[in-house]
Amino acid sequence: MRVMITGGAGFLGSHLTDRFLADGHSVVGLDNFITGNPDNIAHLMGHERYEFVRHNISTYTYVAGPLDGILHFASPASPVDYLEHPIATLKVGALGTHNALGLAKAKGARFFLASTSEVYGDPLVHPQTEEYWGNVNPIGPRGVYDEAKRFAEAMTMAYHRYHGVDTRIVRIFNTYGPRMRPRDGRVVSNFIVQALTGEPLTIYGDGSQTRSFCFVSDEVEGIYRLFMKGDADPTNIGNPNEFTVRQLAELVVELTGTSSPIVSRPLPTDDPKVRKPDITRARTLLGWEPAVPLREGVLKTIEHFRRVLG
């Protein structure tokens, strides 16, 4: 297959590229480096089945030659990033998704949307199944990301139903691992970088809010299987083991051996209180479930940040 991956120099996009190349496929990577990082694809330069195009998918997009798949992974995805780039976030979810779908239709390619657990907002159903419609504040600061992704899902289903495009939607839950940017503002990268640089670990609020953290190799395997053998209905891919943010901070302190203190900072607006995927659908449809425990994944991520921070 020849596939195009938008956001191809991002955290997930670059790992996904490696996965497709490892299976013998060809990949065209697109990125405009708003939050993507050239270092993530440096090892691919000169690879005979890899091409890179620096381009903003929110503008008109044409790619020469056949495409069997288009995977739309371009978007700022950390709360800090999408607060810094609110309009670009809305545009890539809306215009970028439309352009990518139009290209998929023109090429007869399968379309794969990277959606998010944020479509569930601050959820009133726990754990979150795909049937849950969510509890999102459209005009809050996180609305730029949540609503863009909700629009992207609606647009994807419209192309599926109206134009008959073969589509997939993955709802990605918190994912961590090597190639995260040290200052992307997410909790796992923040805590590890703070621990390694001797800064205080910043817990927002009282730290009782929960997240369920999936190591990147598990996430990418689930996404790859969904692309290859899933169907059009949205599918949660994430790790159902739930932890409080405070538990995560304590684990990072233990595993780094840091003497950094843990401090409290204000809770951001509309910060979801709980989050945990119900992955029954992924288990039955794809035979997939995560394999890497948090302790092991965090250790690997610590190694990554030790290298990056030198």
Which uninterrupted H or E stretch holds 309?
Answer: helix 294-309
Among the listed residues 17, 115, 156, 190, the single contact to ligand UDP using CB under 6 A: 190
d(CA 50, CA 289): 29
Q: Which of 50, 82, 120, 145 is catalytic?
A: 145
* Extended strands (E) in 79-139: 110-116
272: its two tokens: 């979801």
d(CA 154, CA 144): 15
Active-site residue, 145 included: yes
Q: From the CB of 203, what's the least distance to ligand UDP, in Å? A: 4
Under the binding rule (CB under 6 A), the answer on residue 204 touching ligand UDP is yes
Among the listed residues 79, 127, 177, 277, the single contact to ligand UDP using CB under 6 A: 79
- Of 305, 51, 20, 37, which is closest to residue 190 (Cα–Cα)? 305
Q: From the CB of 117, what's the least distance to ligand UDP, in Å? A: 8
Closer to ligand UDP at the Cβ: 44 or 214? Answer: 214
Q: From the CB of 140, what's the least distance to ligand UDP, in Å? A: 13
Phi-psi region of 154 (alpha: psi -120 to 50; beta: other; left: phi over 0): alpha
- CA torsion sign for 290, 174, 53, 89 is positive
Strands 210-212 and 242-244, by their bridges, are antiparallel
Stretch that binds ligand UDP, among 3-11, 26-34, 66-74, 181-189 (CB under 6 A): 181-189
What backbone torsions phi and psi does residue 308 show, to the nearest 5 degrees? -65, -40
Q: From the CB of 188, what's the least distance to ligand UDP, in Å? A: 7
Q: What is residue 261's DSSP assignment? A: P
d(CA 142, CA 122): 11
Under the binding rule (CB under 6 A), the answer on residue 15 touching ligand UDP is no
Closer to ligand UDP at the Cβ: 2 or 211? Answer: 211
Site for ligand UDP in 231-260 (CB under 6 A): 245
Q: From the CB of 177, what's the least distance to ligand UDP, in Å? A: 13
d(CA 289, CA 172): 13
Which uninterrupted H or E stretch holds 247?
Answer: helix 245-256
> Measured between alpha carbons, how far apart are the two ends of the chain, in Å?
38
Among the listed residues 84, 242, 271, 289, the single contact to ligand UDP using CB under 6 A: 271
Stretch that binds ligand UDP, among 85-93, 155-163, 179-187, 277-285 (CB under 6 A): 179-187
Under the binding rule (CB under 6 A), the answer on residue 301 touching ligand UDP is no
Q: What is residue 189's DSSP assignment? A: H
Q: From the CB of 80, what's the least distance to ligand UDP, in Å? A: 7
179: its two tokens: 């190639």
Closer to ligand UDP at the Cβ: 63 or 252? Answer: 252
> For the CA atoms of 130, 131, 136, 141, what is the dihedral angle to 10 degrees?
10
Closer to ligand UDP at the Cβ: 145 or 227? Answer: 145
Among the listed residues 72, 186, 276, 281, the single contact to ligand UDP using CB under 6 A: 186
Stretch that binds ligand UDP, among 11-19, 84-92, 157-165, 199-207 (CB under 6 A): 199-207
Active site residues: 145
Interface residues with ligand UDP (CB under 6 A) are: 78-79, 174, 185-187, 190, 202-204, 209, 211, 245, 268, 271
